[in-house]
Chains A and B, each alone.
Chain A
């Protein structure tokens, strides 16, 4: 499938705390995406914004960013979920024949609220919230389930952290570029066992935007298109205790569909680079398995063999990944933007040579309940 192209991408630097308001961040990201596309706001037919009311502390959080996203007088909608889901809706709106171009923009100011309380509110109010569970403690339960199933060790998780924080050193937008060792990760403060500080992503501030177009709309833009070859999303059940937390059947399903659309038969070989949602170090290993890079329970082999390092068979998260910058709801869109930059050959010092086909992945819900998988190519 090559019907929808990514023609412009823009992102703000990710930082721990920004002074800018939501509007200002969105304007910056949207302006950069438009500039990247060689376009103006008049070239955009409709807008999808991505935001979350709890995180923003505002009901209809998207209202604050209407002008900044250039949607005044245009058709506009709002996805509350990861940016990859927002981009998917933006794409559907074009495929429907109603529009030729969509601007999708996502913002997050993690610095303005308390992550533990916001993510506590994603759990069931009757049976779970009162226990104080949050995204990190739930992830820790998943990490241990995964270790039990696979035999992966805490050192394997640490290797992901070392690789991705190191890659972030080549990404000017990343929040935490760091040269660290497995020993550093292992010695870092315990957060929720088996997760330590350096296994966890830093919740921060950032915004990202992209311009999507069909073939007809392309003439408005100067940038060479990067095509969405395949995309699919899928959700698992909500209740943690009734999911197989160690395996991601929803990711497998989404990947299967996206690969089929894109004609990917052997992902490890057919893909040149992948950007996955490593909100916690262990997740990257689980997603290797869900995405079919490794057999079930064998994700750790790839990281031990450095197969997903910059010089490996399939570099994963050359951007530094989510573990190096985590503006929630933006982070998945950043994966898609990085995949686009890689395919364009515009990824600077983190460029994977000759990358033609790239994968981007976003997640939603506790412990990666839902997944959205993209395959993009020139």
Chain B
């Protein structure tokens, strides 16, 4: 049996549309220095580093090597992992396995992105098969639009349901100083009214039916770093370490045509594996808060069904009942989520870091349940059907 592992520190840069004042290595350094300060550690306390990026998103090959001076990897073990949109959670999981293996006591996980420096859709198209798919299919919006319209067809969901998710994310982001989008005009307006305004707005351009501008995530520059530590060390570093109770991933994508567009099977199977490991029987009741990688609004309806928070088709009801709002039974994305900040390579790691903050009771204005969070659930998701799950908890796992 491996070692128990906890998150003991988290640092993120302010997520912004463009960071012209720093280059990539300097941006990475900013997040690392912030995370070290958060855990009151120095780089000398770090035994190994894990970093990732999507090469064609930043035009950077061998990021682990290139960033060594900024990441703190000089004369340290460093490894690069990359799984697309889920790179952040993949990095987190890799850091977890580093520590759980017993080989390293304190490991730094780093994710970053400078979306302002490249053509994101151009880069996403390169994720598809060069011979069979790139000429005819690819990019993020179209695939998600198909998923959304299928969901609407299967369960009778409407554009208003999608907008309700967007409203939740943007309202939550107002509590998070690190979030990229702060739509101050929304303040004080009830969610239902906001939904009407969004759905009825002529300025809210249709991108690919049913997805409008308001349904999508922004493009963001930002970086994040999370520090994982082994039992015996973690308790000394953090007053309340966020223990990793379970983690799992699934990835079943080779050709787009094979993907089940009706259900998100990878998120579903990875969630099932995590709940089994952690002994979670009733996810909605037992989990206190979620940080989900929801890159667009309708994911906030459908994927929560796949995770098992409610039955198929019941996602919209949870949203309208306020169950997933800040004061609901299961607050989702108190940070404002991906729809409020999407520095892609950092995004999934921020989900893990934010979930850890909730467990530690240190999430400030976005803290839920007065800090009384026992279990927090974080996901990563790539448009190429890569589903990562990490379940964090206040109690040290058995």
A and B in direct contact, judged by CB atoms within 8 A: yes
User: A5: shortest Cβ distance to chain B, in Å?
Assistant: 15
- Which residues from 70 to 107 on chain B have a C-beta closer than 8 Å to any C-beta of chain A? 73-84, 90, 93-94, 96-98, 100-103
Q: Mark A100-127, 1 if CB is under 8 A from B, else 0.
A: 0000000000000000001001111110
Produce 1/0 per residue, A214-241, CB < 8 A to B: 0000000000000000001111111100
Whether B61 pairs with A52 at a CB distance below 8 angstroms is yes
Contact B127 A58 (CB under 8 A): yes
Q: A58-B126, A75-B249, A122-B61 are in contact. Are A370 and B2 (CB under 8 A)?
A: no
3 closest residue pairs by CB, A with B: A365-B65, A96-B100, A95-B101
Q: Which of the residues A235, A249, A254 comes within 8 Å of B68, measured between beta carbons?
A: A235
Q: Are B254 and A64 in contact (CB under 8 A)?
A: yes
Residues of B near A369 (CB, < 8 A) are 65, 68
Partner of B130, one of A58, A75, A81, A232: A58
Query: Apart from A59-B123, A122-B61, what 9 extra A-B contacts exist at CB < 8 Å?
Result: A53-B54, A73-B250, A73-B252, A77-B90, A80-B81, A93-B97, A98-B2, A121-B59, A237-B69
Which B residues are in CB contact (< 8 Å) with A71? Answer: 251
Quick check: A92 and B97 within 8 Å, CB to CB? yes
- Any B CB within 8 A of the CB of A161: no
Q: A66 on the interface (CB 8 Å rule)?
A: yes
B398 proximal to A (CB < 8 A): no
Q: Determine if A75 and B69 form an interchain contact, defined as CB atoms under 8 angstroms apart.
A: no
Question: Whose C-beta in chain B lies nearest to the C-beta of A129?
Answer: B59
Closest residue of A by beta carbon distance from B93: A77
Q: Is the CB of A253 within 8 A of B81?
A: no
Q: How far is B68's CA from A197's CA once the two chains are assembled, in angstroms?
A: 31
Given known A-B contacts A54-B55, A66-B253, A78 and B62 have beta carbons under 8 A apart: no
Kindly provide the distance from the CB of B58 to the nearest chain A CB, expressed in whole angstroms: 9
B57 on interface, CB distance cutoff 8 Å: yes
Contact at A96–B2, with CB atoms within 8 Å? yes
- 8 A-B residue pairs with Cβ-Cβ distance under 8 Å, sorted by A, are A57-B126, A73-B269, A75-B249, A77-B83, A97-B2, A121-B59, A235-B76, A238-B65
User: Across the two chains, which residue of chain A brings its CB closest to B59?
Assistant: A125
| Residues A72 and B252 in contact, CB atoms below 8 Å apart | yes
Closest to B24 in A: A125
B residues less than 8 Å from A57 (CB atoms) = 126, 130
Q: Is B325 an interface residue (CB 8 A)?
A: no
Residues of chain A within 8 A (CB-CB) of B67 are: 238
Report the separation of the CA atoms of residues A235 and B59 in the bound assembly, to the nearest whole angstrom.
Answer: 22
B68 touches A237 (CB 8 A): yes
CB of A67 within 8 A of chain B?
yes
Is B60 on the interface with A (CB-CB < 8 A)? yes
- B residues contacting A by CB (< 8 A) are 1-3, 23, 52, 54-57, 59-62, 64-69, 73-84, 90, 93-94, 96-98, 100-103, 123-124, 126-130, 248-254, 269, 273, 382, 384, 386
**What residues of chain B lie closer than 8 Å to A78, measured between beta carbons?**
81-83, 90
The docked-state distance in angstroms from the alpha carbon of A349 to that of B65 is 38
Point out the residues of chain B lying under 8 angstroms from A53, CB to CB.
54-56, 61, 82, 126
**Given A93-B97, A95-B100, A238-B65, is A76 in contact with B251 using a C-beta cutoff of 8 Å?**
yes
The closest CB in chain B to the CB of A60 belongs to B84
The reply to whether B130 and A95 form a contact with Cβ atoms under 8 Å apart is no
If A73-B269, A96-B101, A125-B59 touch, does A253 touch B75 (CB 8 Å cutoff)?
yes
Q: Which residue of B lies closest to A126 (CB)?
A: B23
- Give Cα A235 to B69, complex, Å: 10
A173 within 8 A of B: no
Give the chain A neighbours of B273 by CB distance below 8 A.
Answer: 75
Closest to A66 in B: B254
Shortest A217–chain B CB gap in Å is: 14
Q: Once bound together, how far apart are the Cα atoms of A175 and B54, in whole Å?
A: 31
Whether the Cβ atoms of B382 and A81 lie closer than 8 Å is no
Chain A residues positioned under 8 Å from B248 (CB to CB): 75
Q: How far is the CB of A93 from chain B (nearest CB, A)?
A: 5
Q: A73 vs B52: C-alpha distance in the bound complex, in angstroms?
A: 23
Instruction: Decide if A66 touches B252 in the complex (CB within 8 Å).
Output: yes
Point out the residues of chain A lying under 8 angstroms from B61, CB to CB: 52-54, 118, 121-122
Chain B residues within 8 Å of A92, by CB: 97-98, 100-101, 103
Give the chain B neighbours of A283 by CB distance below 8 A: none
CA A95 – CA B99 in complex, angstroms?
10
Residue of A nearest to B67 (CB): A238
Partner among B69, B75, B94 whose Cβ is within 8 Å of the Cβ of A89: B94
A62 beta carbon closer than 8 Å to chain B: yes
A85 engages B79 (CB within 8 Å): yes
Which residue on chain B has the smallest CB distance to residue A68? B254
Residues of B within 8 A of A213 (CB): none
**B80 contacts A95, CB within 8 Å?**
no
Give A370 to B65 CA distance when docked, in angstroms. 8
The answer to whether A122 touches B62 (Cβ under 8 A) is yes
A81 to B68, CA, bound (A): 14
Closest to B65 in A: A365
A78 to B89, CA, bound (A): 12
Cβ-defined contact, B59 with A234, below 8 A = no
Contact status A89-B102, CB under 8 Å: no
